[in-house]
Structure 1
């Protein structure tokens, strides 16, 4: 029975992992390391207000999300749970790559901190944003994707909802174009994601991708030691070059959760543990049982579920 770990993407504005940090000394030790690697304080990583400047805010937010997800992984490892297959959305894919052995933790967090120096958009540039689009299953997705609309890009696909009635899409682009699309579609079918001022996973992030390219070219990658699934393509990342390419493409290319969980299913995953809180619990349909592990009380549920499904609990060294 194969255990898979899924890491969500996105950078929320709320604190992450505070109760996990308070309960587990190993999480406290890990956060202290992350603080050294990034130049941030533990408070900045955990629960202090994020910076106002967009690129700096994004950078600190990614450190917060990745630190929380990896701390969850470490707590589960202490309880004997270790994945065979890993994958994640966007930032989550980078965290998964680190835990699969393709890049060191230090290199990952130093890279996320380096992004703080990315140039800000010009003051007169069009305002950007993100939106979620809820399309009826079986219908034409084109209008809900914004097909043919300048300034609107399909940034992500999350697949069907748990009841199978709706497919969830993420749109990225110029805020005015997203607002026009929402006004033309049935009320409530396209909603703005509040506090998101970057058109991630779209060509509008090409300046950021170009800024990060020299750093990623010099960053040390190795072949993954565990099965590492891509969210950009429906494939397994096998070599260091595969992983580096995924890091390069991540800012501008659309993500797809269906690619991720279908490939994990094909690799034999029969239980998925979702690290952290960036993939909502109970909303999406998965092809195998999943347990969301965000808070300390979820750890026992994950261990119990793994035991009941016959997952081998490898003793921790």
Structure 2
């Protein structure tokens, strides 16, 4: 069986999507529709903007979503997933790809999510750090023993876990984790403490938007970040999507479960190759590919 997987924030690059726009009429239509929905020309920023332009929260998340979803559309007959999954933001791309969400609803939710997260970052400043070379249990134990908010945020692959929380707590955690034997424990250049309790202010706004949106029965299961198992019930998908804001991204566990369930081929749909690398570290026996257009 094959799974199509969709990347999250950090996969953006200057000029992203321009090749799709120039080659495919459906891409031109979808990008034009996106400009109308968002109320600004995201195509100008994606195609001609700078690295700094692309780092704006209101731009980054919709840009990655657009690149991924449009790429899945122009794959044609090659896009026949037995299951889908997405890393954090990528979960929204996956839900459009498997027809749970319409393109319009998906983009509107991603935009609302980005704005809500930005507000939460301003309300409760925080940061994130990557920890390399320690097992998950050691990192979890260290986080639990530190005063202040610091929690596991992204279980990316064995030996790579991202933590999230208050700045002082993250700094203290990095010191303690290095003493515990981490090969690296360093702060990341991010604008907030994503996937932590500091995102709670964004939860209510996103929950309201998700409840308003139409969720259809998916064409194939999605392995969600929160549950890590195959989900097909729209009400459960909604619940997991809301919880994802403050809960960790369990990518390691999701890929492990997909592999156990018979997935032997993972195709990354979107900018970058990060997920292919993570998947190979989690499940060395599976095959990984980048999406190819027709």
- TM value normalised by structure 2: 0.84
Distance 1:46 1:228 in 2: 30
Cα distance in 2, alignment partners of residues 134 and 189 from structure 1: 5
**Cα distance change of structure 1 residues 172 and 47 upon mapping to structure 2, 3 Å threshold:** farther
Of 137, 143, 147, the residue aligned with 2:144 is: 147
Which of 179, 186, 189 is the aligned partner of 2:171?
179
Alignment of 1:273-292 (within 5 A): 273-276=267-270, 277=272, 279=274, 281-282=276-277, 284-287=280-283, 288-292=286-290
Q: Which residue of 1 aligns with 2:185?
A: 190
Give the structure with the larger helix fraction: 2
Q: Residue 11 of structure 1 contacts residue 62 of structure 1 at CA under 8 Å; is this kept in 2? A: no
The SS at the match of 2:264 is strand
User: For residues 50 and 219 of structure 1, what CA distance do their matches in structure 2 show?
Assistant: 32
CA distance 1:197–1:122, shift in 2 (3 Å)? closer
Partner of 2:32: 32
Q: Counterparts of 2:213 and 2:136 in 1: how far apart (Å)?
A: 43
Task: Report if the CA contact (8 A) 1:152-1:171 is conserved.
Answer: yes
1:43 corresponds in structure 2 to 44
Q: Which runs of 5+ in 2 are unaligned?
A: none
Q: The residue matched to 1:101 in structure 2 has which SS?
A: coil
Distance 1:254 1:138 in 2: 12
Instruction: Tell me if structure 1 keeps the 8 A contact 2:139–2:152.
Output: no
Aligned length: 282
Alignment partners' CA distance in 1, 2:276 and 2:252: 16
Deviation by residue 1:166-217 (Cα, 9 ceiling, x = unmatched): x1001111122212222333375112211x1111111110001112222221
Structure 1: gaps spanning 5 or more residues = 161-166, 294-298, 304-317
Shift of 1:224: 1.2
C-alpha deviation, 1:120, in angstroms = 2.8
Calculate the aligned-residue CA RMSD, in Å.
2.8
Q: TM-score, normalised by structure 1?
A: 0.78
* 2: CA distance, partners of 1:48 / 1:93: 25
Tell me the SS of whatever aligns to 1:269: coil
Distance (whole Å) between structure 1 residues aligned to residue 143 and residue 244 of structure 2:
21
Distance, in Å, in 2 between the alignment partners of 1:60 and 1:27 is 18
